[in-house]
Amino acid sequence: MKLKTILLAALLAVSTISVYSQSKLSLGFEAGLNLANTNQTPSTSFGGKTCFIIGAMLDAPITPQFSIAPGVRFITKGNSYSGADGVASNSLSVIELDALVKVKFPLTEIKPYIFAGPNLGFILSASYTQTPTGGTSSTTDISPQVETIDFGLMFGGGLDFKVAPTMDLFGQFGYSLGLSNIQKNNPASTTKTTGIQITTGLRFKL
């Protein structure tokens, strides 16, 4: 009898969450900047590189304060170098899947939130561009030297601004921390992506 009661309560909770989630689903679109860099061992003289992000995400509330936010983004990553001998940069084109948990603070028409979760990137291409001082720029495909998977963590926060009954404007700030070594066949060194991400977009209630 006790087991039946527990199962019934669990089923009721899942059903309630499902109904609530379906009634509050929203779809968002975002674009912005990825201030990309890499953590490298041993360290190098490469610094940051300004890249871009475009993407879309669902927001599926579990309760008024918590939601699951899966998303897909096209994002560029990399690093750059500038010195007396010229400039150079590494560039990655990545399709990234996010699975974030959001905690919302629905205080007024302006709603702050924080988020965290894993992301899985599929590296589509990788290139190295070099421009010697006084010379001509050249680009080399370095895809064979780079892994196809870039796994990491994403965390940050943002604000939702209600601009219409079924539409919110949002802005958010996040940090992406790569956990996997994207260098291939080079046990002497590691390269992991990082990025400070600033995006804005619109969210529509479905």
**Could you give the domains of the chain?**
25-205 (2.40.160.20)
Q: Please give the pLDDT value at position 186.
A: 84
Q: Which of the four pLDDT bands, split at 50, 70 and 90, describes residue 19?
A: very low
Alpha helices (runs of H) in the chain, residue ranges in sequence order = 2-24
Block residue for tokens 């709603």: 111
CA 33 to chain centre: 11
Q: Measured between alpha carbons, how far is 57 from 202 in angstroms, rounded to an integer?
A: 10
Compute CA distances 25 → 28, 65, 128, 205, whole Å: 10, 14, 41, 6
- Whether the CB-CB separation of 196 and 163 falls below 8 Å is answered with no
Q: Please give the pLDDT value at position 36.
A: 97
- Give the rounded percent of residues in the chain with a pLDDT score beyond 90: 73
Mean pLDDT of 101-107: 90
What are 105's strand-pairing partners?
A: none
Nearest CA among 75, 94, 111 for reference residue 196: 75
- Whether the CB-CB separation of 101 and 59 falls below 8 Å is answered with no
Q: Give 204's Cβ-side CA count (13 Å radius).
A: 5
Q: Which of the four pLDDT bands, split at 50, 70 and 90, describes residue 85?
A: confident
What are 175's strand-pairing partners?
A: 155, 196
Q: Measured between alpha carbons, how far is 93 from 176 in angstroms, rounded to an integer?
A: 15
Backbone angles phi, psi at 45, to 5 degrees: -90, 5
| pTM, two decimal places | 0.85
**What number of other Cβ atoms are within 10 A of residue 85's Cβ?**
11
Mean pLDDT of 27-46: 93
